[in-house]
Amino acid sequence: MNEIPVVFGAERHLVGTLTLPTEGTPAKAAFVLMNAGVVHRIGPHRINVKLARHLAQLGFASLRFDLSGQGDSRVPVSTLDFAQQAVADIRAAMDHVARTADVHRFVIAGICSGADNGWSTAQADTRVVGLCMLDGYAYPTPKTRWMRYRLRARGPILSAVLPWLRRKVAAFRLPREDQVQADGGRTPPSHADYARTMQSLVDRGVEVCVVYSGSMLPQYNYVDQYREAFAGHGFATRVRSEYQPTIDHTVTPLSAQRQLLDLVGDWARTLK
């Protein structure tokens, strides 16, 4: 692969690394990778570096970069708020890849706040044809609450109280503030807004893969939670949803990193 340091953006304030496959013509879509929270563009435990190189082996170009004011990127002369600036930065990254690699379709992959920024950019730019989101917004179901009780309840009393808990949970309506996972001050969309937007993206042809790690307990804690949370919506069966309890939020163990690379790589192959 070829890895090229780049500076781009209207103010040339954004810094990143463009990774290009060395063999064959690059795939018709390129990946954009960015910060997770305040972590440098390399990603937690260098996962973005490893992902970019893995994708290059599969024929995908990618650009991993620092958002404005993070890592090596400077703060721009701009009046945009952080969320708006993140979208502007990602669109500038896509512009740069389009000019230098002649690729005009994009997949955004992000962790936590990176997932949120990808979600927002996909709504703003039709060049986005794929989204891969690790630990993005999570929407609990009644079963999620039931699973919490199961995880907390231990000892001989468990078998005696389980039938009672099942009845209580089945009749329990989740409180409003428990409908979504808010992390680090993020303001998540309501269940209805998320469903409406996701349906629009999927209908537009955007391929989506959502992955939830074991760190999402207790907001996300069983395999079919995503599909059950959005049962009745057409996109629920068209989005690839993965619950991977052996992966943690910052993808720390090497085994978890390998698992995530394989998962994203397998999904990426379907985009060609």
pLDDT digits (tens, 9 = 90+) for 32-50: 999 999 999 999 999 999 9
- Residues in a beta bridge with 2: 20
The yes-or-no verdict on residue 130 having pLDDT over 80 is yes
The yes-or-no verdict on residue 150 having pLDDT over 50 is yes
d(Cα 227, Cα 234) in Å, to the nearest integer? 10
Confidence of residue 153 (pLDDT cuts 50, 70, 90): low
Look at residue 272 in the predicted model and tell me its pLDDT: 72
Confidence of residue 194 (pLDDT cuts 50, 70, 90): very high
Question: What radius of gyration do the chain's Cα atoms show?
Answer: 20
Q: Is the pTM of this model over 0.95?
A: no
pLDDT digits (tens, 9 = 90+) for 51-110: 999 999 999 999 999 999 999 999 999 889 999 999 999 999 999 999 999 999 999 999
CB 66 within 8 A of CB 73: yes
Percent of the chain with pLDDT over 90: 79
Burial of 122 (0-12, 13-18, 19+ CB in 10 A): buried
CB atoms within 10 A of CB 14: 28
Residue for token digits 């428990």?
Answer: 178
DSSP conformation letters of 52-69: HHHHHHTT--EEEEPPTT
From the list 189, 183, 44, the residue with the least C-alpha distance to 112 is 183
Q: Which amino acid is at 119?
A: W
CB 8 within 8 A of CB 16: yes
